[in-house]
Amino acid sequence: MGRVSHVTPLDSLAVRIFADGADLTHIRELAAHPRIAGFTTNPTLMRKAGVSDYRAFAREVLAVTVGRPVSFEVFSDEFPEMRMQANEIASWGEAVNVKIPVTNTRGDFCGALIRDLSDDGVQLNITAVMTLEQVDSVLESLSADTPAYISIFAGRIADTGRDPVPHMAEAVRRIRQRPQTYLIWASPRELLNVFHADTVGCDIITVTNDLLAKLSLVGKDLAEYSLDTVRMFRNDAVKAGYRLEPARRSTP
């Protein structure tokens, strides 16, 4: 049986991996992983992880991530309160990036807020971006002098039946005009997306714990992986105690 086709080694990838999650145990473990260049979270992940005190959670995360970029998100739907929350979050440390959604829940573009915060030197991560038109609008709002991230939810684009790769490649081309603005491939659906992001030139990809657990599979021999899968099916059948005795034929 053949060997696995060529796979780019992880150490040769230019794209940086940010861990995406809110489980403190996992964050502590990943903080020691040399491939993890930064961290992101959001209110949905935090709620799922049982976080109740936002500030205390952030303090613990920053204590273990040791200066690497960490993105925390505002959660208000009103621009004045968003601004207050953004300034509070930014005060938590120099490594903090404030996540601002591209719009509020009414669909109002957050451009004025983005412009004011970016002009004030607040490092932002504009999140939930989907369209190239949104990318253009965000770029127009960001200060050229303040570092920022734009998170395009490529996985959610793929969920709609659209191929995110050419979409992300075009976003890379547009963002390259702003050297202090970095593109994040957000919401990946499979480990292969790490290689997609690297190929198109994305700066960063956010990866959840379930996908990070698959990093050890990169480059694995496919024949060996096939055998591992067969063994898994067999072992699980044995553990479950499944039996199929010959059916008894009824006597006429």
- Beta strands per DSSP E along 88-178: 96-101, 124-129, 148-153
Burial of 113 by CB count in 10 Å (0-12 exposed, 13-18 middle, 19+ buried)? buried
The matching CATH number, chosen from 3.20.20.70, 3.40.1190.10, 3.40.50.1780, 3.30.1360.100, for 12-216 is 3.20.20.70
| Predicted confidence (pLDDT) at residue 11 exceeds the cutoff of 50 | yes
Give me 7's structure tokens: 């796979």
104 and 75 in contact (C-beta within 8 Å)?
A: no
For 102-126, the pLDDT digits (tens) are 999 999 999 999 999 999 999 999 9
The label of the residue with tokens 């030139």 reads 201
Quote the CA–CA distance of 149 and 138 in Å, as a whole number.
10
For 63-105, the pLDDT digits (tens) are 999 989 999 999 999 999 999 999 999 999 999 999 999 999 9
For 126-174, the pLDDT digits (tens) are 999 999 999 999 999 999 999 999 999 999 999 999 999 999 999 999 9
